[in-house]
Amino acid sequence: MLIERTVSAEDVKSVLCHPDIYPLISDEHCPSPEEWEPPMRDVLYLKGQTDRTIAIGAFHPFWNGLKFHPNVLDRKYANEFIRRCLNFVDKPVYIEIPERLEKLALHFGFEEICRDSKIVMRLL
């Protein structure tokens, strides 16, 4: 799998607007996937590509570092994609996750720093 930076809204939308992903990252206040446009300013997007774009990782400013949002269409590439994305940046990395994903985040080396309706974790 090739991982590289993308500035293409179409690359981003090809994963984030996919029917398997969009319902997980949107709510009733969001536009339809056809109408949604990804923010392209102040966001670093990395794409994972095989014969097509299968993953998008988004990093945006958060506290003293970056918040990371990985989205992968093909689960067999998830571990590799997330690990390689985390090695791509040189700032503290944070994630905000539901409780059901806590064990997965711990697997990647994150530690909990606060808990409310979601858990905020920082990469050690």
Judge if pTM exceeds 0.75.
yes
| Exposure on the CB side of residue 113, measured as CA atoms within 13 A | 13
Instruction: Note the pLDDT of residue 15.
Output: 98
Average pLDDT over residues 110-115: 95
60 and 66 in contact (C-beta within 8 Å)? yes
Q: Report domain extents, the chain.
A: 2-91, 92-124
Torsion angle of the four alpha carbons 59, 69, 47, 30, in this order, in degrees rounded to the nearest 10: -100
**Spatial distance between the Cα atoms of 105 and 68, rounded to a whole number of angstroms:** 11
State yes or no: pLDDT of 117 exceeds 90: no
What confidence tens digit (pLDDT) does each residue in 23-55 have? 999 999 999 999 999 999 999 999 999 999 999
Q: Rounded CA gap, 67 and 74, in Å?
A: 22
| pLDDT tens digit sequence for 44-95 | 999 999 999 999 999 999 999 999 999 999 999 999 999 999 999 999 999 9
Residue-level pLDDT at 124: 85
Average pLDDT of the segment spanning 15-28: 96
